[in-house]
Amino acid sequence: QKEVEQNSGPLSVPEGAIASLNCTYSDRGSQSFFWYRQYSGKSPELIMSIYSNGDKEDGRFTAQLNKASQYVSLLIRDSQPSDSATYLCAVGGGSQGNLIFGKGTKLSVKP
Amino acid sequence: DTGVSQDPRHKITKRGQNVTFRCDPISEHNRLYWYRQTLGQGPEFLTYFQNEAQLEKSRLLSDRFSAERPKGSFSTLEIQRTEQGDSAMYLCASSWGQSQETQYFGPGTRLLVL
């Protein structure tokens, strides 16, 4: 059974701080990794995709991948109250291409 | 807006009724996925299509669930004889090309079974 684990939170950070979200996955053969943001009652919205070891930056967001440790993280710099949402880590599930999701980490950014 | 669309956005039905949801993927996308999400959980994969072919359906939750994608364009997900446990958000996503490509989600259909 392929699994993706996330700390459910809530993670609370003050406005302007760095929020760090973490995710581990069980299938060592996984090759694609995604972070989605989901506001309450809404559908998941893609933030970042990452395929290779190392860091990938996009604006205030940085995704980090370590395949040896089976670990993915998302850093949000200069956190804003509008970043308050649930962040879903998703891993590509193999030949079907379906995503395997973690339960999500709820982030709260306090003004 | 040329994103993934889903219809209806909300559906309230009585136990035992049949419901059908529609998904229109991004026009050039050949892959279409259905997921279900319950409160406090991440989306759970149900089935997917590459063009008109349904390549995985063993993860459909029961034989009451079925999906189609005629002509490789829009898709429908049908639930027969709904049960209260079917209450959830049903999400459609689409992607282009290989299995590792990014999936883009529609707004979802929220189902409530009374």
Give the model's pLDDT for residue B87.
98
- Rounded-to-5 percentages of helix, strand, coil across chain A: 5, 55, 45
Residue B58 contacts A, CB cutoff 8 Å: no
Residue A4 contacts B, CB cutoff 8 Å: yes
Give the model's pLDDT for residue B56.
82
Q: Hey, what's the torsion of the CAs at B9, B28, A60, A97, to 10 degrees?
A: 80
**pLDDT surpassing 60 at residue B14:** yes
Q: For A37-94, how does the pLDDT look when each residue is reduced to its tens digit (9 = 90+)?
A: 999 999 999 999 999 999 999 999 999 999 999 999 999 999 999 999 999 999 996 6
* Of residues A67, A69, A71, A55, the one with CA closest to residue A23: A71
B97: pLDDT confidence band, cut at 50, 70 and 90?
confident
**pLDDT surpassing 60 at residue B114:** yes
Report cis status (omega within 30 of 0) of the bond before A10.
yes
Q: Where are the beta strands (DSSP E) in B16-114?
A: 19-24, 31-37, 44-50, 53-56, 65-68, 75-79, 88-95, 104-105, 109-113
Q: At B79, list the tokens.
A: 């639930």
Cβ atoms of B111 and B87 closer than 8 Å:
yes
B37: pLDDT confidence band, cut at 50, 70 and 90?
very high
| C-beta atoms of A101 and B56 within 8 A | no
| C-beta atoms of A98 and B56 within 8 A | yes
| C-beta atoms of A42 and B43 within 8 A | no
B1: pLDDT confidence band, cut at 50, 70 and 90?
low
